[in-house]
Chains A and B, each alone.
Chain A
Amino acid sequence: MTTETTAAPRKRKPRNFALLSNWAGAAFLTPAGILVSVFVIVPFFWVIFVSFTNRTLLGRTALNPEFVGLGNYLTLFDPATFFQRGQFGFSLILTTQFVLASALLGQALLGLLLAWLIQTVPPWVKRITETFVIAAWILPEVVIGFAWFAFLDRDQGTLNMILEGVGLPPGDFLLQQPFWVIVAFNTWRGAAFSMMLFSSAFSSIPPSYFQAADVAGASSWQKFRDIGLPLIHGHIVTDLILITMWTFNTFTPFLLTNGGPSYRTELVSIYNYRVAFQDFQFGKGAAVGVIMMLINLAFALIYLSIGRKKKVR
């Protein structure tokens, strides 16, 4: 290896000068290549394969699964049960609503508002607000889960304490409004990413644009609408695609509600877990995984094609 690699670059200098020979490059790529192949690429194809079988975790079909063709998919998309609670269609619609409400409306709008606000407020207000928004985002998910569990507790929780303090009726929100709880939870948990993305986008706009607007007597809202928003619209698209993908795949609400009560917070990721690891139907779980991956693929392709266009320009 050494003789080849040391000799090669000198001859070809200066054009097409590669610091690493192809041989050494391939060697450098091998460890990552093996790991990624086994844990990312193989699962992609294996899940497709398993989705055509009736494989289970236990019992006879665990070792000798039979080929069932599209059977799992037909069960998932059976029109008779599709929209029933605890069925695939129900969790798919629930997840769509969850993504719309908590990612696209919640995280993106709140992140945008925060990013705009912290541009102008005094540094100490900015620092305190940022600290808690980012803390919500970086702390481990189980810790966040318990903190919210305590926050929402019916008898002692902080939320009910505040509600009673201002004269509003307390509630057992995890039981009464589980969907809106996980929407609020995910908005709270993820707003930091949008805030930071938009904040760095806003601070990359030349200050002279805003100064000129100030001279012309523009209000903050006008500056936001006519200068800030148009100049960061590329970042907005990036943000929307990323948070949609993450929210679509998130498993964290499971820590708060377990998918219940009575399947009312069973997002597709949680549905997938229940079918595969609680009902032991691996084939059916794999089919859910395939559909999730197809949806991910659509978003990833949009995201990457936008990224490529940016590079070409």
Chain B
Amino acid sequence: MGLTIPAFVGRIAFSALAALIGVIFALPLLWFLFAPFNARAELGLAVPAPWTLSNFFTVFGNSYAVQALWNSFIQAVGGVILVGAAATLAAYALSRSSIPGKGAVTYILLLFSSVVSGSAAMVPIFLIISAAGLMDTHLAVILTFAGGLLPTAMFILRDFIDSIPKSYEESAMVAGASPVQAFFDVALPVIRPGIVVIVVWSFVNIWGSFLIPFILLRSDSNMPASVAIYSFYSEAGTPIVTLLAAYSLIYSLPVIALYLFVSWRFGFRFFGGIKA
């Protein structure tokens, strides 16, 4: 590669600029990388001396903190199962049946789901949950998220199923399989990668969100980590930084793990915005 001198200088300038932006993006996160391992962490940035895991032991010794992580898990997994199952069935029906008006259904769903966002619909969602007698239950959070995430999940999955040739299921049915058998035994294994994408996407969405559980839950025993984290304040109203930092890291781990999984398994290409 014969680079001319201006082109060479240009490439260095580009690299320097990209690296500089990377560093600026890293700055707010540095505290979050160091503080969990520092037994005397404060809001200031300090390299731990010595590095320690004691903050993590404190978190795991705090039954309320552990309960909150468990609550996050229940709500996220419950929501994911509901979204995954309902979206798979619905997307398959929209792709493979000849129900009249299914194109319009997809269009209207997409329209509604982008109009009815969590922050615009907080009043009616609160009223619906309250009318159903589900206030302050895990089910309230699970159902609300499932309803909100389903339209997008169905849309992504329908696109995915449309791209798979029908001949797989057709040959199974020629061989005598019923449509339901063709769905469970032939189609389902083929569309599994699409389902994985939706499952990861909805898990990350529910796990990280604050507003819906903040509105729908009341008692400490039901709070997910995203809301419970605000109780790690001393009586004087200052944050207990050591606990907070370690807890933030533990709470982030599933999201990081899933991101790495998707990026390893699927190359983290563009999934139409894996986050809503």
Residue B178 contacts which of A5, A129, A301 (CB distance < 8 angstroms)? A5
Interface size bracket, B side: 35 or more
Contact A135 B114 (CB under 8 A): no
Within B53-82, the residues touching A (CB, 8 Å) are 82
Given contacts A133-B22, A146-B248, is CB(A272)–CB(B122) below 8 Å? yes
- In the complex, whether A240 has a CB less than 8 A from a CB of chain B is no
Q: Is A159 an interface residue (CB 8 A)?
A: yes
Residues in B214-254 with C-beta less than 8 Å from chain A = 215, 225-226, 229-230, 239, 241, 244-245, 248, 251-252
Encode A177-205 as 1/0 by CB contact (under 8 A) with B: 00000000000100101001100100000
Whether the pair A31, B90 counts as a contact (CB closer than 8 A) is yes
B14 to chain A, nearest CB (A): 5
The answer, yes or no, to whether B199 is at the interface (CB within 8 Å) is no
Judge if A175 is at the interface, Cβ distance under 8 Å.
no
**Is the beta-carbon distance between B18 and A118 smaller than 8 angstroms?**
yes
Question: Do B178 and A251 have beta carbons less than 8 Å apart?
Answer: no
A18 to B95, CA, bound (A): 10
Q: What residues of B have a CB within 8 angstroms of the CB of A296 in the complex?
A: 114-117, 120
Q: Are A249 and B123 in contact (CB under 8 A)?
A: no
- Chain A, range 112-158, C-beta contacts under 8 Å to B: 113-114, 117-118, 120-122, 125-126, 128-144, 146-151, 153, 155-158
A166: chain B residues at CB < 8 Å are none
Q: A158-B31, A188-B28, A273-B122 are in contact. Are A35 and B45 (CB under 8 A)?
A: no
Measured between beta carbons, the chain B residues less than 8 angstroms from A159 are 27
- Indicate whether A75 reaches chain B with its CB closer than 8 angstroms: no
Q: How far is the CB of B144 from chain A (nearest CB, A)?
A: 6
Question: What is the predominant secondary structure among interface residues of chain A facing chain B?
Answer: helix
Residues A211-261 near B (CB distance < 8 A): 219-220, 242, 245-246, 249-252, 255
A19 contacts the other chain (Cβ, under 8 Å)? Answer: yes
Docked CA distance A141–B230 (Å): 13
B25 near A: Cβ within 8 Å? yes
Contacting pair B118 A251 (CB below 8 A):
yes
Determine whether B15 belongs to the interface, using a CB cutoff of 8 Å to chain A. Answer: yes
Pairwise interchain contact B127-A293, C-beta atoms closer than 8 A: no
CB of A54 closer than 8 Å to a CB of B = no
What's the tally of chain A residues with a CB closer than 8 Å to chain B? 107
A2 / chain B contacts, CB cutoff of 8 Å:
178, 180
Question: Chain B residues near A255 (CB, 8 Å)?
Answer: 210
B146 within 8 A of A: yes
Residues of chain A lying within 8 A (CB to CB) of residue B170: 17, 19
- Known A141-B209, A146-B244: A38·B147 in contact at CB below 8 Å: yes
A156→B182 contact, CB < 8 A: no
B179 at the interface (CB under 8 A from A): yes
Partner of B96 from A25, A110, A300 at Cβ < 8 Å: A25
Q: Is A58 an interface residue (CB 8 A)?
A: no
Q: Say yes or no: A36-B151 contact (C-beta < 8 A), given A140-B207, A200-B269.
A: yes
Task: Check if B107 sits within 8 Å of A18, measured CB to CB.
Answer: no
Contact with B along A1-20 (1 / 0, CB 8 A): 01001100100000011111
Taking a contact as CB atoms under 8 Å apart, the answer to whether A39 and B125 are in contact is yes
CB distance from B103 to the nearest CB of A (A): 10
Query: Which residues of chain A are within 8 angstroms of B275 by Cβ–Cβ distance?
Result: 137-138, 193
B207–A41 CB distance below 8 A? no
- Please state if B43 and A157 are interface contacts (CB–CB under 8 Å): yes
15 other contacts beyond A31-B86, A46-B124, with CB at 8 A cut-off?
A18-B98, A24-B97, A24-B179, A29-B99, A36-B147, A36-B151, A40-B116, A114-B18, A129-B19, A140-B208, A157-B44, A158-B45, A245-B117, A269-B119, A282-B123
Q: Report the 4 A-B pairs with minimum CB-CB distance, sorted nearest first.
A: A39-B147, A25-B97, A156-B44, A129-B22
Chain B residues within CB distance 8 Å of chain A: 10-11, 14-15, 17-19, 21-23, 25-32, 35, 42-45, 82, 85-87, 89-90, 92-94, 96-99, 102, 107, 109-128, 143-144, 146-148, 150-151, 154, 166, 169-170, 173, 178-180, 182-183, 204, 207-211, 215, 225-226, 229-230, 239, 241, 244-245, 248, 251-252, 255-256, 259, 269-270, 273, 275-276
